[in-house]
Chains A and B, each alone.
Chain A
Amino acid sequence: MKSSLKKLIALVGMTVLAVSSLHAQDSGALVEALVKKGVLTDQEGEEIRADLTKEYATTSAGKLNVSSHITQLKLYGDGRLRYEYVGQEGQNNGQNNSHNWRARYRIRVGADYVFTDNFKAGFELESSTDNDSANQSFGNGFGKSSINVGLIYLQYKPWDFVTLTGGKMKNPLYTTDLVWDADINPEGAAEVFSWDINDQFTIGVTAAQFNYTENSDSAGLTGSSSSKMLDSWIYAGQLPMTYKFSKDIKATFAPGFMTTTGNNGSTIVTGSPSITNTVSATNLNVITAPGDVQFKLFNQKTKFYWDLAYNMSGESRVHQTYGIVNQNNSLEDSVAWLVGLQVGDNKKKGDWLVGVDFRQTGLGAVDPNLADSDFGNGNLNQQGVKIRTGYNFTDFLQGNITYFNTWNYKENIATTGQTPNNVSGLNGVNATSRLQLDVVWKF
């Protein structure tokens, strides 16, 4: 009787293993329970356990040798093929007009490790060195692209309400691409605190110290005060709060402030977009106020979202950083804002999503090295729309279409003797359009 039962247990265990190797431990618990109840002897239990472990060892997961201090390991990645149109209308009777169709690709692979003792770490490798994009263009004589480090972070959670992160990390700030391009992984340290006041209300404090540019300390000892190459840091603070009105309705608001240290010598070289590659990290003291309201519309997940950025030093940035000394500065130059609506979701097979937003970005409002590199081709003093739609063909494969159309926010920004709109951060752009056709697969 016991022998037959033993075979049955082994059979059940093997079947479970066949379905998923991760269930080996579950079978172990079953064996343990049967031993405790006296159905199996300890020796029979050990033999079944050994057989299960042996079967598990022949699976892919069983061949991985993961350290005992790692309690969870997640491997992830995605690939993307893109066909893209980029058009630009320049100032001066079309002198700077351009348009181009190109095929691009992106690959990202990464791993998240959860350690014992409330630690977590991760890394991601990407196919580009740009801070705000992992794209590479096809058509380079079949040349190969390099693989670069996109994320490398260590996280510690001493208590449930505190998360401390150091390294190159996912942006810990609640934000939109009006201020932070979603592909940027900032570097430095972040402290995130979050408290559930009750079942409906959550409030938090986020602080971040990002090392924006690193310059030789000895270089900072020479030269005039304005040309010393100081390190540049971004210090940001935010008070995110979320209120759940009901199961399907919740609102989030995250007022915050970010300031950038540095001087005219602290130039930023991001690589993308190349046209804004030397804008100093000066005169940026930006109040931000992003938020969203999520609800159901025709039984579809819907999100109304917004962002607002006001640079308290916007006038100085326009005059000093961009050198437009005789421009009549106005509030428009210091403010950027967007409002948008997104309907649907794109997580599982059959999901679809449609979204649209409109934004205006003043010349001195935000840092062009951080804002979305696709809207206005990364330039400032632009206003326009971003329209996107997506469909999940399978759980892992989706198609997306995104369209940007932008035009000048203010006309003829220039100082005496300059070509209109030809300063850094504008680069002579009058209007842009961009169409992206994407196929994305996740693994």
Chain B
Amino acid sequence: MSQEQNLKIDYDLYITGFSLSKKSSELFVTDDFSLFIWNDTISKVEETETEENLLKFTIELSDSIGTINYYSKKEDSIFTRSVGLDEVHVVKEKRTVIAWELHPETKTIGKFTCNKASCTFRGRTYEVWYTPEIPVFYGPWKLHGLPGLVMEVKDKEDMLQAYFKKISRTDKDLVPYLSALQTGKIISIEEYAEIQRKLGDELVKKMKLSFPRELNMSIDGIKQDQLEREFN
């Protein structure tokens, strides 16, 4: 067997929620499974002071390992390593088959001819360009099952955007990622949904509690939006 047996696909991943953040992301494809690893290019827990001594907070949850999506066609469940506020969770969910809708449009990305497909998944509509010229079942994040590599992803509200950057062979040892998936409290997707829902309140609480007294503060409400919005 060749040393460089696995495929590695690099994407430019943008999460444009309240802040536009670019993540480094890598999709590893082996014969049996895929790993999608994404993390901040810069760490982003920031506290900045404005001219009136008003504090402004931004938080992105990440650690040195980052978020890992594990998917195997051979298993009934898929696993996600998720970095929470205080602890790391491994989310276990049933492997679902995405009902992709195929569209007649084609376009070229680099030298690859790509086809368009779309789906509705976890409360968002995704538009995807994939190329059958790279026969890979897997895609970034949880967007699997197309007859070719996913080259571009965009959800309708532009929260998630991924752009194919590079494909190469790799001999990178994936064991550390697999063992990272085995450390952390295993929770169900429903529990995960609940944690995500409470996250905003939790953060606002912490924020309020960390304000120095001299600061005049009021919070008009919490804007919260998650990549995954529906969990049924």
Whether A and B are associated in the same complex: the answer reads no
The residues of B with any CB-CB pair to A shorter than 8 Å are none
The residues of A with any CB-CB pair to B shorter than 8 Å are none
